[in-house]
Structure 1
Amino acid sequence: MPIAQSIAAPVGLQGYVMQVQMTPAVCSLDTSKKKQRKCLEGYSLTITGLIPETTQQHCNTTTSPNLSPLQDKVVARVMPDENARNRLWYGIGGCTGLTASQYFRDIINKADKLKIPTDLTGVENKFVQLNTLKSQFLKLNPNMHRESIRFICQNSGKTTLLTGIQICYKTNGLYKQCSSQVLSNCPNHFYIKGSY
């Protein structure tokens, strides 16, 4: 297949959702993950994917997710688990319209541009209000729409922890309003787990 065909924009692509994981919370809630690099090395945030929003039914690809050693090192800063990156690519690569190298470069570019409130990367556990955290994101990222961000929480005993953030993008990389399929399940108040 010619290269031009392999990177043409796929039919039905409506945008992307970047999934950002609150690593300390996830590592404390799921004991099976405690030996993963992101938990052992104390990452505060990791990206688990840039998921295409598409009308296509099947997004699998057989193209290689292998990156150059330099790009692999750069991507590992935000996505430390190579096996998870490979599974992600094989599962969604067919709907991105990109090569693996372009796709992971796009993740790095979006991660570098996204400004994160300090409450999310501190060492202290914090009790926060959803609207306050959303306002911090909007202040730090002036082009972000109020409906471009969704928060994911999980209960841990009597405590509700923030476990993830989803950011919605148009195909051109600008922020967009999240679709109705991208849900937020956090209450008005929740905890942010600090670093280990």
Structure 2
Amino acid sequence: MRSMLQTLICYLVLSFGAPLYAADNADIAGYVMHIQMTPAVCSFDSTRQKQRKCLEGYSLTISSLLPEVPVGRECETKSSAKLSPLQAKVVARVMPDENARVQLWQGVGGCVPMNASQYFRKIINFAERLKVPSDLTSPNTIDVQKENLRQQFTKLNPSLPPNGIRFTCQSSRFESVLTEIRVCYQKNGQYKQCSSHIVTGCPNDFTIKGSY
């Protein structure tokens, strides 16, 4: 099973020689990566249908990597989100819309102990290591059981605990459609159990949308 960014390892080796992580921030309890099921998100939200991820038929995209910080802490930043052309090209494989990347950094940059380049390298590293079940990238729309999909993830990623992943769904007529997957990490990048406030939003059975 291929990882999300296995084909980009050569870019990572050539481009990112700097240390991956800056010093830890004591206020951060961990990170949560939000992975969008792009066909479903694009079909539900007409305002996004002109975004690159919808126009070019992405199966999965990463919407954010959010630090777990104390409630009420302000995370906005005015620091630059500019990336080198090569790094921007790599990041675009999983976060294709530049405006969305800029907005993400402006919203979380004040709460992470790193600059924008280091932050997006962190996302790339997480995405490269996470192996995803083939059901999530199939061109076909299929029905799955939540626990079966969870087991597929833990089998492909042995260090991922069963409760280290959460699924979010949205109702569509007579079915629930998977729209987002959340994966929980320690500050050092290892998987961990998701905190209790990170809830699942899917029934036991739901649909994975495979086409737009």
**Normalization by structure 1: what TM-score?**
0.95
1:182 paired with 2:207, answer: no
1:92-129: per-residue Cα shift (whole Å, max 9, x none)? Answer: 01111111001000100100100000000000000000
In the superposition, relative to structure 1, how do residues 143 and 137 fare at CA in structure 2: closer, same or farther (>3 Å)? same
2:31 equivalent to 1:16: yes
Matches within 5 A, 1:109-188: 109-188=125-204
- The alpha carbon displacement at 1:10 in A equals 2.7
1:83-122 paired onto structure 2 within 5 Å = 83-122=99-138
Letter in 2 for 1:170: Q
TM-score (norm 2): 0.88
State how far apart, in whole Å, the 2-side matches of 1:183 and 1:144 are.
Answer: 17
Partner of 1:51: 66
Higher strand share: 1
The answer for the alignment partner of 2:10 in structure 1 is none
Give 2:107's aligned amino acid.
G
- The secondary structure found in structure 2 opposite 1:54 is coil
The answer for the alignment partner of 1:4 in structure 2 is none
Deviates more, 1:45-54 or 1:25-34: 25-34
- Structure 1 segments, 4+ long, off by >4 Å, are none
Distance in structure 2 (CA, Å) of the matches to 1:142 and 1:10: 27
For the 8 Å contact 1:126–1:192, the answer to whether it is kept is yes
How many equivalent pairs are there?
190
Work out whether 1:27 is the aligned partner of 2:29.
Answer: no
CA contact (8 A) 1:153 1:185 kept: yes
Equivalent residues of 2:24, 2:187 under 8 A apart? no
**Identical aligned residues as a percent:** 58
Aligned counterparts of 1:38 and 1:159: Cα–Cα separation in 2: 24
TM-superposed deviation, 1:8:
4.2
The 3-state SS of whatever aligns with 1:13 is coil
**C-alpha displacement of 1:62:** 1.3
Whole-angstrom distance in 1 between the partners of 2:153 and 2:188? 20
* Root-mean-square deviation over aligned CA pairs: 1.0
Residue identity opposite 1:182 in structure 2:
I
In structure 2, what is the Cα distance between the partners aligned to 1:162 and 1:61?
A: 32
Worse overlay, 136-145 or 52-61: 52-61
Which residue is equivalent to 1:42? 57
1:181 Cα shift? 1.4
Report if the CA contact (8 A) 2:131-2:153 is conserved: yes
The amino acid across from 2:207 in the alignment is Y
Deviations 1:23-45 (A, max 9, x none): 00011111111111100000000
What's the counterpart of residue 14 of structure 2? Answer: none
Contact 1:26–1:163 (CA under 8 A) maintained in structure 2: yes
